[in-house]
Structure 1
Amino acid sequence: MTSATHEAAPRSAWTPPKAKPPLTARMLRATWRRLPAAQHEVGWQPGLAVPAADGSPLITDHYFPRTPGDFPTLLVRSPYGRGVPWSPMYGLLFAEQGFHVVLQSCRGTGGSGGRFELWRNEAADGHAAVAWLREQPWFDGRLGTVGPSYLGYTQWALALDPPPELQAMAVQVGLHDFYALFHADGTPRLENVLLDGVGITYQHQGMAAFARAMLCLQRGLRGITTARPLRSGYVASLAEDVPWLDDVLSHPDADDPYWHGASLAEAAGQLTVPTSLITGWHDALVDQTFEQYGRLRRAGCETALLAGPWTHTSALQRGWPQVFAESLAWLRAHLCDDRSGLRPTPVRVHMGGEDAWRDLDAWPISPATTEWFPTPDGHLTRQPPTDSAPVTSFTYDPADPPPSLGGPLLSRTAGPRDNAPLETRKDVVTFTGPPLAEPLDVLGPVAARLGVSTDTGHADVFARLCDVDAQGRSTNVCDGLARVATSGAAPTEVTVRMSSTAYRFAAGHRLRWQLSGAAHPRFARNPGTGEPALDATELAPVRITLHADSALLLPGRGARPADSPGR
């Protein structure tokens, strides 16, 4: 579908309604600090029925400045309802700064008609919303989009075939690929699937319903995630309320026709609309943001990237003043021709380990890679191995899998954590470098190249990079998981993509590479038998052997240890 021939209808006089924004939104707005002062009094048109592509009514709220004049419009399409926190964060705050804000509930959510279906209707319904905007007397033809998570997906859906009015996008901790949200190399991202299912199903019903559902999930999480078969646990607890849950978990292959249309990666690969991207280093969608950035850059699209010290949720909480300021500056620059708020470089990243920000011209800054090698005595060294003997072996028991601890989750347990509870387990192996003589900066994608063999032929490998301080505390920096299928005793080479990071390992600190067979329930446990994780009823311990051709791959040129005489 092509929208280039559309023209806005002739504009007529418009008399703004007198309703004020909801009291809950105004009360919450009054508690926020470090946000810009309001420039306009805000009005509110609630409950507008906007036709979807199939004619279903999409319930929509309109926030606007109570000031004479023309203002650009922001379209915000969400399956999470139109109340708190969306009404103050997007409706009220952006209208205060001089924007019409159209906050719309997706099909089947928040009172909108039709049936909610993951990903299948967002492009068509986004264009239907723009067609409705063209008929509004207050719409002046300048359109932007903004929002986080699924609200990012609705932006990418519109960007597949951007209408001519679309002049700017601000995607915050945003999603473009449902398969990558729900699976990692064929292994279900179990905890995130369950949390996302509850969020999409209940949040649009109000915060009380959402809180009750989340509490029930947390109380029953262990029973759900350890049920045999796994499907019986979540079906009994959630599947009737989350009708798509079993479908997304039952299709672990990215090439399955089920996932056709679920990824909107091609939108970024051809986009010319200026786009701002915001993520956090422990955001569950951080890898998707960096994929979006790479595609936009290769397409020659004007783009900005901000990566902060946040999780998926904390970016919209303690990180919100900076996230809001970044998005506001971008939208003003491209919708209001006011570039005064833009930062001087297209990329800004927070450096973990030193709690500082860096402005960069691009990401990543260097294609170079440094290899660190594991040794049989648990060390991590820059010296390649001199023999081919196996480095170590450990037994992964799916009846007692290593637990997930921190990292990029949707829950409040996400982020950096003390890894001591993991690293004392016999089924978690670590390789630790010597104290660094000087700081080591790691900026870019981290990966592990593994030579692995197993005695059953079926396993997963979880790899994590940690920072060990002078007191011996080990803190996770980034990680990843890959599926391993081996045949006989010969090792299979596996690459574990461990996400990206911007991190400074201080002088005196040590690098630590952590390996195990699981991070449960963040990822569904591998039963060790070759059966699908959802249907397995039997569990088999797996002996995993790491071979000498393995290495931790870090971006950059590395640094010398404290006891090294030189480079």
Structure 2
Amino acid sequence: MPTPTHDAAPHADWRPPTGKPSPASRLMRASWRGLPPRRYEAGREAGAPVPGADGSPLLTDHYFPRATGDFPTLLVRSPYGRGLPWAPQFGMLFAEQGFHVVLQSCRGTGGSGGGFDLWRHEAGDGQATVAWLREQPWFNGVLGTIGPSYLGYVQWALALDPPPELQAMVVQMGLHDPHALFHSGGVPQLENTLVCGVGTTHQHQGAWPLAKATLRLRKRLEQITTARPLRGAYAAALGDEPPWLDGVLAHPDADDPHWQGASTGGAADGLTVPTCLIGGWHDALLGQTLEQYARLRRSGCPASLLIGPWTHTSAFQRGWPEVFAESLAWLRAHLCGDPSGLRQRPVRVHTGGADAWREMDDWPAEAPVTPWYPTADGHLTRQAPTDDGPLASFRYDPADPTPSVGGPLLSPEAGPRDNGALEARDDVLTFTGPPLDAPLDLLGPVSARLDVAADTGHAHVFVRLCEVDARGRSRNICDGLARLGTGQDTPARITVPMSATAHRFPAGHRVRLQVSGGAHPRFARSSGTAEPPADAVEFVPVRLTVHADSALLLPQEAGESGDGHELREGRTAGGTADAVG
């Protein structure tokens, strides 16, 4: 075990109290398969008021192994309450494996004092909690952090000035840049923003208030997302409107002073704390996970990366045995001095289509970028065009916005979906390659380079990579959106990032590029004018025209032999992405 970093060793006469986890926590543990056997019985001390940075009491539960001995501590800070699923998944399971687990409600949530303000207090409150830990008789000076989503954000906030006790981090589906979660290319990621509003407002109140709020949002989603203007329309549907929500939608520019200090991404620059990053190919925060891994690698920080076939939520359902095993191995290696569970290569990713895992030395992969060109007859070809004229056009009508289907959402509708009904619409273009003679492997970031014109000079452009199987079913792999705001009707060249993937197209399947004017309500709809999407009241239909020399840019591997990668066939313990939702 690493040497404690402060003088106060655990008190020799400290004995675990008699408190036990709730029956609900034990029932949830029994529902998972493939978890390692527990090493200890777990106990719990509930509701300790830990002073925050300004003295506000932050209610904190302490889970512990019911045994005497010297155990490291995990800090888990959450705005979503301290009950399900955090109590069993982090409190109980890790205490059973030999960790003290401190599960704390962020200020203004779960009974903690003060007011919750999305990102403004997490660094100070995290440091104050570590100061409290130093005074606890069971704390041995060896500290790790763990958690997903906003529970990842608070880890990066603490790592901005890492305390000397911090010796490992596990950031799962983690957030570090709120602006990038709420906006993409200057367009509000509307549905994810509303889901965040429901979660931070109601989840810490318990399962029933969250369920009611979620159903209310589902029922009123169309009413909210088609309001003119959009801002303010969500108050009635969300019940208690989050105080941060209006500010988030009112400031689409990342350089706006509103976002000053919001991003904690810089914590990875120069960090030396060993950090494990876990993501999913269909997670709304995948881009942030990959961004932080690149920063850690540039810093020379010990880091690992796991990306599975998961959405933001399915990683903690079907994928939990895999996620738990990865997290536990990292924490044992860096907090307990037991590296036996670590893999030899730092990167492990799931390959869709092949339903297989591969291990690599680094990410991104070095697969060469291959352009696939759309043609006027709706095909995709690898032959570059000989002219730059228009290929196809369509009319986008804000009164009947192109709907969103699957993709990286925070809701259960996320992930791969059948795109057949979407692609049958008049406002969706598709360009499809021929049936493949041999498997096509993609590994790395995907993008589209488009020459496109909008007759009003203002539009959104949504692009998506799909796989068409032998029966003609089209399913999404990755996608992206950009805002066109030239104010002129002449063609403009734009590059639309479409996230990243590791995917195999089997022989006989086809590659498809999908182009449309939006994906609503995942993104706020385009008004066809220069008005910001959240404030627009005038809506004008737009005709968009795609021109030749546009291209789908694929990270296409030449072959498996001699590439230094290892592809392991077989079903993943987390289930395939097709099973999500």
SS of equivalent residue, structure 1 residue 547: strand
Of 393-402 and 361-370, more deviation after overlay is shown by: 361-370
Instruction: Give the aligned partner of residue 43 of structure 2.
Output: 43
Supply the AA of the counterpart residue of 2:157: A
The equivalent of 2:452 in structure 1 is 452
Deviation at 1:487, TM superposition (A): 4.1
Which deviates the most, 183-192 or 220-229?
220-229
Counterpart position of 2:192: 192
Looking at structure 1, the residues matched to 69 and 236 of structure 2 have their Cα atoms a distance apart, in angstroms, of 55
Q: Percent identity between the aligned chains?
A: 68
Alpha-carbon distance between aligned partners in 2 of 1:130 and 1:394, rounded to the nearest angstrom = 57
Partner of 2:83: 83
Deviations 1:474-518, CA, capped at 9 Å, x for gaps: 110000000111243421111100000000011111100000001
**Equivalent residue, structure 1, for 2:378:** 378
Structure 2 equivalent of residue 366 of structure 1: 366
Give 3-state SS (helix, strand or coil) of 1:521's partner. Answer: coil
CA distance, structure 2, for counterparts of residue 198 and residue 237 of structure 1? 9
SS in 1 for 2:234: helix
Taking the aligned partners of 1:80 and 1:69, their CA distance within structure 2 comes to 31
Alignment of 1:88-107 (within 5 A): 88-107=88-107
Question: Would you say how many aligned residue pairs link Structure 1 and Structure 2?
Answer: 555
Q: Which residue of 1 aligns with 2:117?
A: 117
Describe the SS at the equivalent of 2:233.
Answer: helix
Deviation at 1:239, TM superposition (A): 7.2
Quote the residue 1:390 is aligned against.
390
Corresponding residue number in structure 2 for 1:520: 520
Counterpart CA distance in 1 for 2:31 and 2:173 is: 24
**3-state DSSP class of the match of 1:237?**
helix
Q: TM-score w.r.t. structure 2 length?
A: 0.94
CA deviations on 1:157-194 (whole Å, 9 max, x unpaired) are 11111111111001111100000000001100000000
Residue type of the partner of 2:339?
Answer: R
Q: 2-side partners of 1:244 and 1:489: how far apart?
A: 37
> Whole-Å Cα distance in 2 between the matches of residues 508 and 543 of structure 1?
34
Residue identity in the other structure for 2:291: E
- Bigger mean CA deviation after superposition, 347-356 or 550-559: 550-559
Asked whether 1:52 is paired with 2:52, we answer yes
Determine the C-alpha separation between the residues in 1 that align with 2:162 and 2:110: 25
Q: 2:482 maps to which residue?
A: 482
For 2:464, give the aligned amino acid: R
Instruction: Tell me, in whole angstroms, the C-alpha distance in 1 between the residues paired with 2:78 and 2:223.
Output: 31
* Aligned residue number for residue 542 of structure 1: 542
1:555-566 alignment runs, 5 A limit: 555-557=555-557
Question: How many angstroms does 1:32 deviate by?
Answer: 2.2
**Matches of 1:337 and 1:48, distance apart in 2:** 30
Q: State the partner residue of 1:468.
A: 468
Instruction: Check conservation: 2:442, 2:557, Cα contact below 8 A.
Output: no
- The aligned amino acid for 1:268 is A
Shift, 1:240, TM fit: 4.3
1:168 and 1:273 in contact (8 A); partners too = yes
- Cα distance in 1 for partners of 2:16, 2:507 equals 61
The amino acid that maps onto 1:411 is S
**Matching of residues 128-527 of structure 1 within 5 Å:** 128-238=128-238, 240-366=240-366, 368-527=368-527
Structure 2: gaps (5+ residues): 560-581
Mapped partners of 1:136, 1:437: distance in 2: 64
Kindly provide the CA deviation profile for residues 177-228 of structure 1, in whole angstroms up to 9, marking residues without a partner as x: 0000000011000000000110011000001111110011001111111111
Report which stretch shifted further, 388-397 or 442-451. 388-397
8 Å CA contact 1:370–1:558 kept in 2: the answer is no
1:280 and 1:251 mapped to 2: Cα distance?
Answer: 28
Distance 2:31 2:192 in 1: 30
**Secondary structure, in 3 states, of the residue corresponding to 1:527?**
coil
Distance, in Å, in 1 between the alignment partners of 2:76 and 2:236 is 34
CA distance in 2, matches of 1:529, 1:152: 37
Partner of 2:30: 30
In structure 1, how many angstroms separate the alpha carbons of the residues matched to 2:505 and 2:182?
31
How many Å apart are 1:48 and its aligned residue?
0.6
> TM-score if structure 1 supplies the norm length?
0.96
Aligned AA for 1:548? A
Alpha-carbon separation, structure 2, partners of 1:302 and 1:106 = 28
Q: Which stretch shows the higher mean deviation, 287-296 or 241-250?
A: 241-250
- Report the Cα distance in structure 1 between the residues aligned to 2:423 and 2:299, rounded to whole angstroms: 43
Question: Alpha-carbon deviations, 1:425-454, whole Å to 9, x = none?
Answer: 110001001111111111000001111111
Counterpart of 1:491 in structure 2: which amino acid? P
Q: Identify unmatched segments of 5+ residues in structure 1.
A: 560-567
Separation of aligned partners in 1, 2:9 and 2:392: 73
